[in-house]
Amino acid sequence: MGYGPRKSPTPRDSEAERRSEACPPFDLELRCPDGVALRATVREPEAPRATIVFAHAMFARRSAWERPRGEGLAARYAERGYRTISFDFRAHGESERGPSQALYDAFVRLDLPTVVACAKDRGDKVIVVGHSLGGHVALASQGTGRLGADALVVAGANVWHEPFEPSRVRFASLVGAARILETLVRTTGKFPARALRMGSDDAPRGALSVFLRTATAGTWKSDDGEDDYMAALTRVDAPVFAILSRGDRFICRPDCGERFVARTRGPKEIVVVEGGDHGEPAPDHMGIVTSSACRATWDRAIAWADERARAT
């Protein structure tokens, strides 16, 4: 077998390599109190100014924070002097599934608090950045007193709850979608996101149950009923910056996301992305993170959260 001449790197490739070499990532394994191992990627600049913990969306994994190549948010903020930790929730990516069937509650009670506790052991301020699932899990965990983040940035985060959706027609469509998903995951035990090309990871039934029940039963509570996450939302007094996009037309419409975050009681700022930084359309739900369309908004969000975290 022969080998052709080495391909010269393109300017984009060179930039990606430069960013990676400036603060090379390394893998970390974290153990939750129930013994489940979570896999994480860490970037450690010299004298970090704070730690950013990245929590991914449903049907995704920690690699979403590395997209697009060379321009991912994890590398971007490591280059700016932040320690970054992106991790896979249990049953996602390279993390273990564990014995718990109540996966959503494990995200809230075990996974994210374990990663934040690891970050806090370094003595720095901790900013949790959550996209979609990661966002509402972060708010639920903070509101129930388990997280202790110094500030939160949530992107495309809400739950399907009637008071957040003023249109009866649109809410009816959300309930209909939730019931279809409930039937599918009850039958198959998971939502086949990969087969449907809706994400990198299938979602086990337990990861979706709480979210879907919020739409169909009107209650955002833990599977065992011990935690009322809707009530906990009103107890979040840490600073919250919310990023919403006009291009997100179904999963988290901006008006719904605004009503959701408005229930927190601490300092907050809500920004709706009307269009991309370079004249492109506003990003869709996943594109808020995985495209480079609204990096200026992300920079504003991190600066805002960092400033308020240091003020506490």
Which residues, in sequence order, are CB contacts of 198 under 8 Å at separation 6+? 59
Residue percentage of the chain with pLDDT more than 70: 93
Query: For the residues 92-104, what does the mean pLDDT come to?
Result: 95
What CA–CA distance (Å, rounded) separates 164 from 174? 12
SS3 call for 25? strand
Neighbours of 245 (CB within 10 A): 28
CA distances (Å), origin 90, targets 109, 165, 190, 303: 12, 30, 14, 30
Predicted local confidence at residue 7, as pLDDT:
40
Going by pLDDT thresholds of 50, 70 and 90, the confidence category of residue 23 is: confident
What CA–CA distance (Å, rounded) separates 262 from 161? 14
Q: How do residues 211-252 score in pLDDT, each as one tens digit? A: 999 999 999 999 999 999 999 999 999 999 999 999 999 999
What CA–CA distance (Å, rounded) separates 286 from 276? 14
- pLDDT at position 5 over 80: no
Q: Say which amino acid occupies 86.
A: S
Q: How do residues 123-142 score in pLDDT, each as one tens digit? A: 889 999 999 999 999 999 99
Residue labelled with tokens 């409930």 = 182
Q: Where are the domains of the chain?
A: 24-159+228-311
Environment class of residue 259 by beta-carbon count within 10 Å: exposed (0-12), middle (13-18) or buried (19+)?
A: middle
Predicted local confidence at residue 8, as pLDDT:
42
Query: For the residues 156-160, what does the mean pLDDT come to?
Result: 98
> What is the fold, at CATH topology level, of the domain defined by 24-159+228-311?
Rossmann fold (3.40.50)
